[in-house]
Amino acid sequence: MLKGVLFDFGDTLVAETDISTPMLEADLHMVDGVEEVLANLDRDYTLAVVSNTIDADDSVVTGTLARIGLDVYFETVITSVTAGYAKPDTRIYQQVLDRIGLLADEVVMVGDRLDTDILGANRAGILSVFHCWNDRYDVDTVPSELRGVPDKTITHLLELPGAIRTMGFGDIR
């Protein structure tokens, strides 16, 4: 039974347009459909962010989410800076699961990178949804041994509830 949804931050929830500007100062734009999907899922599921960051810790990403009004949807945020591990290392996934009190088979990971988000979920025993909404990362340039295999692929975030439903997790509003 699905109890939680894990999200990557950059290019999954928020479009990465200028990674040279510090996160708290960047002009952020939410990915289309994010508010509707989060409000929908938040009614029934624990939501968390698992993000690889260069120098931003959990508090910076949480503050960035607050600045755009998305912090209210997430029980926790974990970054590679705070965790000490980056996706696809399974230890960052275990840390977020420990924080939210769920098991790998009770969550699904949503991310835009096959080599980090999806591969890490595969290794951790977590089902995954590849959010392939832009062409920023050329899938063909990822070596096959580093290319995670998603359980579902979506091109728009509004497709997420339907994708989860077809993964055998039951009825999603």
Going by pLDDT thresholds of 50, 70 and 90, the confidence category of residue 15 is confident
What is the per-residue pLDDT for 27?
Answer: 75
Query: What are the percentages of helix, strand and coil residues in the chain, rounded to 5?
Result: 40, 20, 40
Q: How far apart are alpha carbons 18 and 29 in whole angstroms?
A: 11
Domain-located, residue 56: yes
CB 121 within 8 A of CB 171: no
Domain-located, residue 57: yes
Going by pLDDT thresholds of 50, 70 and 90, the confidence category of residue 173 is very low
Q: What is the tens place of the pLDDT at every residue in 100-124?
A: 999 999 999 999 999 999 999 999 9
Domain-located, residue 148: no
User: In which domain, by residue range, is 37 found?
Assistant: 12-102+113-133+155-169
Q: Which residue has the higher pLDDT, 165 or 9?
A: 9
Q: What is the tens place of the pLDDT at every residue in 43-92?
A: 999 999 999 998 899 999 999 999 999 999 999 999 999 999 999 999 99
The CATH number assigned to the domain holding 26 equals: 3.40.50.1000
Indicate the number of domains in the chain: 1
What is the per-residue pLDDT for 28?
Answer: 82
Domain-located, residue 38: yes
Give the position of tokens 């699961």.
97
